[in-house]
Amino acid sequence: MAARAIWKGKLKFDSTNVPVNLYSAVIDKSVHFHILEERTKTRVKQHMVNPETNEEIPNDEIQKGYQVEPGVFVVLSEDELEKLQPKPSREIEITRFVAPEHISSQWYDRPYYLGPDGDEKTYFALAEALANQQKEGIARWVMRGKEYAGALRSQDDYLMLVTLRHAEEVVSAKDLPEPAGRDLDKKEINMAKQLVELLEGEFEPAQFRDEYSERVMEFIEKKAKGSKPRLHVVHSKRGTSSLDKVLSKSIASLKNQKEKKAA
């Protein structure tokens, strides 16, 4: 079943104008719980309460404030907050293009597919050009009252827009102190390098499953049928040998596995 577009916009840069639809590119598959009242087994509700009097405060009496020092707030009216809102627009403005290695993986936030909205030829030409040039466009747009920055990229012939986090939000490793200590042992460095090489391969996400969610769902289904499944804690043992011993043991066992596979 085709998904519904969550927003419509126009990609704009230079004299170009590409009408697009936005679709979420991900689905949340984690197991979600509700909070229940133990006595009645019904869903609980939430409200805002004055903690001094335990009195419920209705929405129209709530004001919003920014704490400037402990216990001191500057109150902002709905009107003032409204005025801070960006102007609604359908334009996704591309300000520049950069090579993907300049966008740290730390910046990427939520991915969206863009689909053509009436002009398929232009859409697919842009996707192909981005792929050929190996570039990502830096985009800015306003969607549902919120301002976004994003990376426009091509993936498997299609256009994708991934929202980017704000500069102020991300802590860069360059601003942190490098952990110091005695010089590392050359032999250990070489062995660790060998070990990483032995474990090197392609990125194959399908090889990893959310086994925990599967176990939780299995447990819930059994419980729903009335059985009381038993749970055992699985213990694992960890060795305490020296680093270089552990490294050489690991290399030997991995090499052994590889040879067996090859044979």
Partner 1 sequence: MRPLWSGTITFGLVSVPVEMYPANRSDRAPLRMLSSDGVPLSRRYYSQESGKDLDDDQMVRGYEIEKGKYVEVTDEELEKLAPEKSRDIDLRRFVDEQAIPPIYFERGYYLTPGGETEKAYRLLAKIMEDSERVGIGTFVMRGKEYLVAIAAENGILRAQTLRFANEIRSPADVGLPKKEKVSKAAVTKFEKLISKHSEKQLSMRELKDEPTERLLKLVKSKKSRHKDIVETEEKSSDGKVVDIMDVLKKSLAAKR
Of residues 78, 82, 200, 259, which one binds partner 1 by CB under 8 A? 200
Task: Say if residues 138 and 97 touch (Cβ distance below 8 Å).
Answer: yes
Which of 176/263 has CB closer to partner 1? Answer: 176
The whole-angstrom separation of Cα 6 and Cα 112 is 10
Q: Which residue has the tokens 């490294």?
A: 247
Task: Please report how the helices 186-198 and 243-262 are oriented relative to each other, as an axis angle in degrees rounded to 10.
Answer: 30
Rounded to a whole number of angstroms, the minimum distance from the CB of residue 244 to partner 1 is: 10
For residue 151, the cross-strand partners are 138, 162
DSSP label at residue 207: G
Which of 90/108 has CB closer to partner 1? Answer: 108
Of residues 17, 147, 187, 256, which one binds partner 1 by CB under 8 A? 147
Of residues 79, 88, 179, 260, which one binds partner 1 by CB under 8 A? 179
Q: Give the SS3 label for residue 218.
A: helix
Q: How far apart, in Å, are the Cα atoms of 253 and each of 46, 207, 243, 259? A: 55, 21, 15, 10
Residue 178 binds partner 1 (CB under 8 A) = yes
Rounded to a whole number of angstroms, the minimum distance from the CB of residue 90 to partner 1 is: 19
Residue 158 binds partner 1 (CB under 8 A) = yes
The whole-angstrom separation of Cα 87 and Cα 116 is 24
Of residues 10, 25, 89, 93, which one binds partner 1 by CB under 8 A? 25
Site residues for partner 1, 108-137, by CB under 8 A, read 108, 111, 113, 115-116, 120-122, 124-126, 128-130, 132-133, 135, 137
Total Cβ atoms within 10 A of residue 101: 8
Rounded to a whole number of angstroms, the minimum distance from the CB of residue 7 to partner 1 is: 13
Site residues for partner 1, 43-82, by CB under 8 A, read 43-52, 54, 57, 61-68, 70-77, 80
